[in-house]
Amino acid sequence: MNKYSHLEKRSLSNNYLPPLHNPLLTEESNGRLSPISRQFKVPKISTLTQLENRKINQTSNINPIFLPIKNDNIEVTYTQSNKDFISLLQSIDLITNGKEESYYKTLREGEIVSVSLNENMVHYFKVKCDGKRSPLKVNIRRNKGMIKTFVSKSVDRPNQENADYAFVLDKFEICENGMKFPYIYLYISIEALTDTEFSIGVTFGKIKNVYIPRETLEKPKRSVSREIEELRKNEELRNKFNKKVDQLIQQRKERYSKISGSKNFLKLNKNITVSSTDRLLCSWEEKKSQVLNRKYLKALEKKEQAIRTVNKKVIQSQLEQAQKEQQEKKEQDLISYRKWVIFLSLLRSASKFHSTTQENRNKIIKKLQRNAAARRIQKSFKGKFIKKNIKNTILLRLRSHLLMYWNNLYKPNKNFSNTMLIKTIRLSAVNNKTFFTFNVFIDKILHIQKTVKSFLRRTKFRLEEILKLWNILMAKLVSRGSTVHLNRYIKITSHVRNHVIKQYYSQKLNEYLLSQSKKSKNQVFEKKVDFKYLPSETILKQLIEQAAGMINS
């Protein structure tokens, strides 16, 4: 411990030191290590530790603007929730189980799994599809954050290069040509673009009820009896059958004649028709009178309606005339009001002009009166002291010069000398001058650190605001765009995004400072203009296209 150790503790350089070592992951070590070094056993570390080491390596190369700023004087309290507890349990599982199998999670139909991931963290799932029906529906419900989903049929850890499907949507389906899936497992990996919390569930296709039409029923052919066939062939039997039918018809006629007796049905029918025609004639006369009465009533109604319409038109014309007269009266009143307002305004302006001219005239008269009085006093003074000698004139001039010196030079010089004397006395009273100067130097360094911290905090807050707008517009473009734009925007990494945002922010800051310097040269006193750093939607689209072009190139 030395005298200036607190300066080293307070400095920001401790936050940006590079890591002590760069740990390799298992898949990276298989491609980089030599065969001799592979023979020796390397102690395994958990996958969570590997991801944290990778984050440290990434953040060590980023500009300090994007790093968190520590402040010892601020106390932060966090409220815990069920989701934080779930994420804590997942982190403990990842730490305790260093094996790769623990990094997978099997999804079953009807089961919902909730997961929380940090930025750039990947979680792997596998779904057993053996004997299951197509399609497979995946439903993801996000509480916060953004994710990318990769699906593969053969690769156990799918990514952007080896995946069969890539999605940014929360709901999607995977279909096959047959009724069932031809493979045993389907592998899913979910990458978190930001800090994310979500739940995932899967469902397979159901067996549909198929309508099978019944077979058409054919009518059975009726067989002809033997007796009818014999009648068709044998003429004697047919003649006997016809005679028997004629006898039956004759018997039936006789039975009907006995029942009817000696009634003459023609006469009866004629009488019935005549009586019916008379009755019909009477009813026709009644109907005719009813129709004529109805027509007369309708004509009366039409006449009354016509009279009403005529009266209505007359009343309407009278109302229109009254409204017109009222409108003309209102217009005349408005014209008279305008004239009166103009007259009153002219009268007020004339009275104001008269009062101002009178005041100016009085001021000029008073000034002339004062000048005349001063001239009279000077004349009387000159007439009284005409016989002045050179000595008196010199003394008067010296007195005037001394008064001017006293008022303009002596007082400020006296004040300055007094302050300098006080400072010298105070400094001479201090025994250890070097310690005093070091304290002043330390205070200056602390002031610089404080201003730098506030500047970094402000820039971090502004960059986070731009990043939020970036994420909102990215979600809109992904949901509305085509598959070509989707594949193009998915490739944008966080490093490229941060580089583009930082470049845009530095450009806006330089433009603002240049404009402020130009204004300060032209005008001395001017109100400070706000720093407008938030981009519009068109500028954000240009920035996203620039980031996509950087990755594609």
Please, what sign has the CA dihedral across residues 266, 269, 275, 280? negative
Strand partners, 243: none
The answer to whether residues 182 and 38 belong to one domain is yes
Alpha-carbon span 138 to 201, nearest angstrom: 6
In a domain, 376, yes or no: yes
Neighbouring residues of 401: CB distance < 8 A, sequence distance ≥ 6:
none
Q: 158 and 189 in contact (C-beta within 8 Å)?
A: yes
In a domain, 1, yes or no: no
Sheet with 171-174: strands ordered across: 112-117, 196-204, 136-144, 171-174
In a domain, 455, yes or no: yes
In a domain, 483, yes or no: yes
Alpha-carbon span 168 to 141, nearest angstrom: 12
Alpha-carbon span 541 to 548, nearest angstrom: 11
The answer to whether residues 35 and 183 belong to one domain is yes
The answer to whether residues 67 and 158 belong to one domain is yes
The answer to whether residues 130 and 100 belong to one domain is yes
In a domain, 6, yes or no: no
Query: Domain limits at 239?
Result: 226-260
Q: What is the CA radius of gyration of the chain?
A: 55
The answer to whether residues 543 and 493 belong to one domain is yes
* Region class of 218: left (phi > 0), else alpha (psi between -120 and 50), else beta: beta
pLDDT of residue 359: 92
What is the CA angle 81-82-85, rounded to 5? 90
Going residue by residue through the chain, which has 553 residues, state the pLDDT in tens, using 9 for 90 and above.
444 444 444 443 344 333 334 444 444 444 444 443 443 344 455 666 667 677 666 554 444 433 444 444 444 444 445 556 666 666 666 666 554 444 578 888 888 888 888 888 899 999 988 888 888 899 999 988 899 999 998 888 898 888 889 998 889 998 888 788 888 889 999 999 988 899 999 998 865 544 445 444 455 555 556 777 777 778 888 888 888 888 888 888 787 677 666 566 666 666 655 555 556 666 777 888 888 888 999 989 998 888 888 888 888 888 899 899 999 999 999 999 999 999 999 999 999 999 999 999 999 999 898 888 878 877 776 666 555 677 777 777 777 777 777 777 777 888 888 888 888 777 766 555 566 677 778 888 888 899 899 999 999 999 999 999 988 888 888 887 677 777 778 788 888 888 888 999 989 888 888 887 776 655 554 566 778 888 888 888 888 888 888 877 6
* Domain count across the chain: 5
Neighbours of 125 (CB within 10 A): 20
DSSP string, 224-262: PPHHHHHHHH-HHHHHHHHHHHHHHHHHHHHHHHHHHTT
The conformation of residue 526, written as its DSSP 8-state character, comes to: -
The answer to whether residues 200 and 70 belong to one domain is yes
Strand partners, 125: 105, 188
In a domain, 135, yes or no: yes
CATH assignment of the domain containing 48: 2.60.120.380
pLDDT of residue 200: 92
In a domain, 212, yes or no: no
Alpha-carbon span 280 to 32, nearest angstrom: 119
The answer to whether residues 56 and 140 belong to one domain is yes
Residue 433 identity (one-letter amino acid): K
pLDDT of residue 435: 61
β pairing state of 165-167 and 147-152: antiparallel
In a domain, 42, yes or no: yes
Alpha-carbon span 295 to 301, nearest angstrom: 10
| pLDDT, tens digit (0-9, with 9 covering 90-100), for 406-449 | 777 777 888 888 888 888 777 766 555 566 677 778 888 888 89
The answer to whether residues 165 and 230 belong to one domain is no
DSSP string, 25-65: PHHHHHHHS-HHHHHS------HHHHHHHHHHHHHHTS-GG
pLDDT of residue 425: 75
The answer to whether residues 42 and 142 belong to one domain is yes
β pairing state of 147-152 and 185-192: antiparallel
The answer to whether residues 336 and 360 belong to one domain is yes
Enumerate the H helices of 385-432 as residue ranges. Answer: 390-405, 411-429
Looking up tokens 């799932």 gives 125
Looking up tokens 């592979």 gives 38
Q: 207 and 151 in contact (C-beta within 8 Å)?
A: no
Cα within 13 Å of Cα(214), Cβ side: 3
pLDDT of residue 278: 58
The answer to whether residues 451 and 520 belong to one domain is yes
The answer to whether residues 319 and 352 belong to one domain is yes
